Amino acid sequence: MLNTVIVSAFSPTDDGVRVAADAIKRGELAVIPTETVYGLAANALDSSAVDKIFVAKGRPQDNPLIVHIADRDDLCNIAREIPPVATALADRFWPGPLTIILKKSSVVPQNVTAGLDTVAVRMPENEIARAVIRAAGCPVAAPSANVSGRPSITCAKHCKEELGGRVNVILESFDCKFGVESTVISLVGPRPCILRPGAVSPAELEAILGSVDISPAVLRSLEKNEVAASPGMKYKHYSPNAEITIVDASRENFISFINADPNRFALCFDEDIPDIPPEKAVSFGSQNDPLSMAHNLFEALRTLDQRGARTVFARKPSLDGIGLAVYNRLLRAAAFREISL
């Protein structure tokens, strides 16, 4: 058990930033806020610090980490080739929730990229995250700050519950703006390919790139012996203790289905709440507002566990904009179970 120091920062000049950065400089672990989800950060150029991330999360060694930078100039240290499309994407979306996969440079340790010849890089929009990285003086490897397999974390309270004793510092801050992890796009194949949907939508990427592929594994499970384009695709993800099933149905059909059996819990929209007994319903956002769903999904999954829910049925979100990212996470939380009513 580590003695976890809890500090806070609500502006980039607050003291907590320095405490988290000093820990990273010493080769220790610090949980930091970002605009996507909270991240578990270590010096990306120090392989023994990076090893500690895998241990603290219980993360499989073959699942590579995203390297976070505070300044555009740092990209050329991390990647050995920066094609014009990468520059165009960085110009448009950085700082922001877009991770770009490029060929790695030799300074990036093998454990960061899980032995791959490519590296995932992002410049976060959250100015407290950037202040920590800048003060640490190194790029920072930072996967989501949750125990592997569990839902990602979007508020400081859940970071303390889940990672207290496993990390050196937790930097408390505001809840995460988006609430789902970054969009991941690979630029190392023949065509740009989205490996994971996030707040930057396929349409926004197409506006810059002309056309972009979406990996089939975004919306289905990997087939037997299929090689994952992104190693993270093959693992169980975002799993609460409850068994989740997505339901594609009208509001009326969904509500009658939930109310037909007292053991059925609902992961529903705000608009459904009045028609379901309150102890069985947890909302993850408003029906026509996918951003609110992104913002609330992971917390709603944890709330269901706290309520002791065993069998949960979730409303299917619209797939527009960030809705694709919400559905991608929900599918994995549900182990791809979906029914239509």
Helix (H) or strand (E) holding 159: helix 156-163
Look at residue 118 and give the partner it binds from Mg ion, ligand AMP, none, a contact being a CB closer than 5 to 8 Å depending on partner kind. ligand AMP
Look at residue 63 and give the partner it binds from Mg ion, ligand AMP, none, a contact being a CB closer than 5 to 8 Å depending on partner kind. ligand AMP
Supply the minimum distance, in Å, between the C-beta of residue 95 and ligand AMP.
17
Q: State yes or no: residue 195 binds ligand AMP (CB under 6 A).
A: yes
Question: For the CA atoms of the chain, what is the radius of gyration?
Answer: 20
Q: Give the torsion sign (CA, 69, 75, 78, 83).
A: positive
Q: State yes or no: residue 144 binds Mg ion (CB under 5 A).
A: yes
- Tell me whether residue 50 or residue 268 sits nearer to ligand AMP (CB atom): 50
Supply the minimum distance, in Å, between the C-beta of residue 144 and Mg ion.
3
Per-residue exposure over 57-68, b if at least 16 CB sit within 10 Å of its own CB, e if not: bebeeebbbbbb
Binding mask 222-251 for ligand AMP (x = CB under 6 A): --------xxx-------------------
Q: How does DSSP assign 31-68, residue by residue?
A: EE--SSS-EEEEETT-HHHHHHHHHHHT--TTS--EEE
- Tell me whether residue 315 or residue 329 sits nearer to Mg ion (CB atom): 329
Q: State yes or no: residue 113 binds ligand AMP (CB under 6 A).
A: yes
Residue type, 239: S
Q: Are the C-beta atoms of 145 and 159 separated by less than 8 Å?
A: yes
Q: How does DSSP assign 239-281, residue by residue?
A: --SSEEEEEE--HHHHHHHHHT-TTEEEEE-GGGGGGS-GGGE
Size of residue set near ligand AMP by CB under 6 A: 19
Q: Spell out the residues 6+ positions from residue 216 whose beta carbon is closer than 8 angstroms to its own.
A: none
Q: State yes or no: residue 118 binds ligand AMP (CB under 6 A).
A: yes
Q: Are the C-beta atoms of 327 and 319 separated by less than 8 Å?
A: yes
Look at residue 335 and give the partner it binds from ligand AMP, Mg ion, none, a contact being a CB closer than 5 to 8 Å depending on partner kind. none
Q: Are the C-beta atoms of 66 and 99 separated by less than 8 Å?
A: yes
- Tell me whether residue 198 or residue 317 sits nearer to ligand AMP (CB atom): 198
* Footprint (CB under 6 A) of ligand AMP, residues 44-83: 63-66
Q: State yes or no: residue 139 binds ligand AMP (CB under 6 A).
A: no
Distance between CA 179 and CA 191 in Å, rounded?
A: 28
Q: State yes or no: residue 120 binds ligand AMP (CB under 6 A).
A: yes
Look at residue 247 and give the partner it binds from Mg ion, ligand AMP, none, a contact being a CB closer than 5 to 8 Å depending on partner kind. none
DSSP-derived 3-state class of residue 10: coil
Q: State yes or no: residue 215 binds ligand AMP (CB under 6 A).
A: no
Supply the minimum distance, in Å, between the C-beta of residue 37 and ligand AMP.
7
Binding residue (CB under 6 A) for ligand AMP from 96, 109, 139, 143: 143
Supply the minimum distance, in Å, between the C-beta of residue 180 and ligand AMP.
10
Please tell me the chain's helix, strand, coil percentages from 3-state DSSP, rounded to the nearest 5: 35, 20, 45
Residues that bind ligand AMP (CB under 6 A): 63-66, 101, 113, 116, 118-120, 143-144, 181, 184, 195-196, 230-232
Residues that bind Mg ion (CB under 5 A): 144
